[in-house]
Structure 1
Amino acid sequence: MNERREPGDEPVHDRALLLYGPKRSEVLNLHEVQQYGVDSFSDPDYIRLYGMAPAEWYARGIRLLGRTAVECTSDFLGDRIGRDIASLAASLLSRTRFVVIDPFAGSCNTLYWILRHVPHSTGVAFELDPHVFELSKRNIAGLDRTITLTQGDYQSLLEGQEIPPEHAIIVFVAPPWGTALDEVTGLDLRRTEPPITEILGRIGRIFLRHKILFATQVYEKVNADSLTELRTMLDWSELRVYDLNVAGRNHGILLGTKGWKPM
């Protein structure tokens, strides 16, 4: 539990301050990154990225905006997501090559972990916000995975993306949640920005002839109707929640396929 702050102390570094407050578009210093971890998760090293604790990645010149610190996937979760996706992707032929698409790249950390675990894979990412894009482009430049990051709206950019028909596609779906997440009622998948059903529908139409594996990031509490609506769009699906935080504040993924079903 966090200690009570006295008047004049620095503000609580939580979701409200970093995502909606004055820190949203500011580059955080190391103390602010660690304070967010302490205030929100009782762990100064919570924002682990690319296999590194905050002190290490900060020393290497990696920087985050306030909004990205909140929206990014930490290593603990990214690793679990990557392993589960790789396990499911292994249902396809061992020689299958994969293109992993992240329409809302942010830090690219989840994409990084998926690429670490899925053999024969390359990453394609899109980021609409120019400030997030510039920082992430510099941050991933020295990583040991192939990620092509483009600034712009995935909706128009994916239309011109040529992927050989024999390649399978993995899509990590994690648009900004914004007000779609309510700590009491949970995450409404119809109110993300844009709605997740819209994203799956668009990508499914663009790559109609490909085998697609969607991995949609969800919250431990999910609006039941929105989850049911999403699952009807998939040929197969499975919900997984990761026990990494206190009960009620855990994240998970809905794994789902189009054009194939796992063995």
Structure 2
Amino acid sequence: MKLTIESMTYGADGLAHADNGKAVFVQGAVAGDTVEAEVVQDGKSFMRARTTEILEPSPNRIQPPCTFVGICGGCSWGNLSRTAQLAAKEQNLRSTLERIGKFAPELADELVQPICHTKDDWGYRNKIELEPTVVNGRVRLGMHGVDPSKIVTVDMCPLFDKRFPKALKSVVGALNYLSGSHDLGLERVGIRASRRTKALEVALWTPTGSFPRSQVSRVLADAAHPTSIVRVMSKGEKKARRVSKVEMLAGEGSWTENIAEDQ
């Protein structure tokens, strides 16, 4: 099926329309692309499709600095220029106000102000969350893929704060090393950074119970030099786990950020 992508939707897909007028949500394409796509779901009111070939690339399509764009789910619009991304977000907001909120177009124009955005196209995100998997008895950490059933192992993220370019690799390496001799019981790992306060926190989500606190603190401190290491303990059923306690393992025990200053 040959399609021309008209706009970006909420999430990763581009929006096109089939010859019969049915909306098609297309994975792997950006606004302005003309693509060959394979239908993966044909519903009553819409279809979902996957790009198999880019026939004519959009003038707003870019070559991103991350090789995992389109595989990792962390930057689903990474192939689209920043200017086009901002325009798409603004248009999505206007569309939501008009279609769902029933606002008149004139009122939507009045309400929607220019987007406040960072100066940098990349290297501005202050948070990374990693999901653990066990491979050959060792913990591997990665990000959820575009396919949510898959975990993509990475050791860098160009979107993460550029003041801490080695933080992700250091944390992943340290926890992989520790997993060789300890059962950490990791459920999730968070890394937060601030270019303004220079704070760097590593948060480890685990069940309640015994934990090699001193070894984890020492190895993470030597590898990543964080200002804070905390353990977030949770309990309950997997789909409804709740935080029972937050334990400071090293450093300040919290992460700080300044807001409403330079973007």
Answer 1 or 2: which has greater strand percent. 2
- Select the structure of larger CA radius of gyration: 2
- The two structures have a TM-score, normalised by structure 2, of 0.29
Structure with the largest fraction of helix: 1
